[in-house]
Homo-oligomer: A and B are copies of this chain.
Amino acid sequence: MSDGVLTIADRIHNKLDDLTRAERQLAHSILENYPASGLGPLAALAKGAEVSVPTVARMVQKLGFNGYPEFQAELREELKAKVQNPIAKHDTWAEGAPSGHVLNQFTDAVIDNIRHTLGQIAPAKFDEACAMVADQTKSLYIVGGRVTHTLAEYLFLHTQVIRPRVTHVQSTSNTWPHYLLDVAEGDVFVIFDVRRYENNTLKLAEMAHARGAMIILFTDQWRSPVHQLAHISFSSRIVVPSAWDSAATTMLLVETMIAAVQNIDWDGTKERMERLEEMFDQTKLFRKFT
């Protein structure tokens, strides 16, 4: 909506009385399935409305555009703005912060990333991945790289509570080959690999793959080379106004996965959590109150 807040549909409505018979016919045709019809070629629009080509051209000028292409361009802008989620719209997040403040810029970017990422995930694949992670008949290996090991660690920390036979492998350490000794056919690897993709991680993935392990990959929009070996891949958008990439979206996916996995065998999870609590009580690690 380049000028003002009026959509083109609004403008057509306002002008409706000033239009001639053929033009009105056209106007209704445009509004009929808005905005799709207006985005096609002029001739098609004319034909659809059963008016002549110049009628379209003239009406577009009456609406204040310099030509049909300009009209289309604004329609596209409108569409773009519309598709972008209402939440991402310029609510300023931190009240009182100038909208150019890092807090706002960054948050906008992350919300945007989340939206794009979630839009590309097939729920069925996600469920399948969760089932694999929950499968206690197989061993589970979690692999992170230089930066992503924090995410891997986070997933490890929680899956460890949920189920036995979980191992955290750091591909940056050169001790990782030891961990692969016990890998059996059908074991599950959750691998994190985002830019800059690490050679170690790829090698590890190849070995795991060669031994018949199943790979679930968390990567970015450009996709780590590991994805060719992976059974299931999830790619997050990670671009933010910073010299580094954002891990927030991937973190969200990981947390969601944890939530889903804990529910698959909730009784078992609950029982394990209670036992863990008991042990915590004995170590007096946590405060009892507040």
Dominant secondary structure of chain A at its interface with chain B: helix
Chain B residues near A221 (CB-CB < 8 A)? 28
Q: Are A259 and B241 interface neighbours, CB within 8 A?
A: yes
Is A287 on the interface with B (CB-CB < 8 A)? yes
Total interface residues on A, CB under 8 Å, equals 97
Contact of A76 among B36, B197, B222 (CB under 8 A): B36
Copies per assembly: 2
Q: Give CA–CA (A247, B158) in the complex, Å.
A: 12
Q: Give CA–CA (A285, B28) in the complex, Å.
A: 48
Q: Are A103 and B126 interface neighbours, CB within 8 A?
A: yes
Q: Give CA–CA (A35, B39) in the complex, Å.
A: 11
Q: Give CA–CA (A41, B72) in the complex, Å.
A: 10
Those of A65-99 within 8 Å (CB) of chain B: 69, 72-73, 76-77, 79-80, 83-85, 87, 90-91, 93-98
Closest 10 CB pairs between A and B? A242-B259, A93-B118, A97-B123, A36-B80, A196-B286, A106-B256, A36-B79, A150-B154, A150-B150, A36-B76
- Given A87-B111, A96-B123, A102-B259; 11 other pairs, CB 8 A cutoff: A24-B222, A41-B69, A83-B90, A106-B256, A107-B118, A110-B114, A146-B285, A147-B154, A199-B286, A240-B259, A251-B251
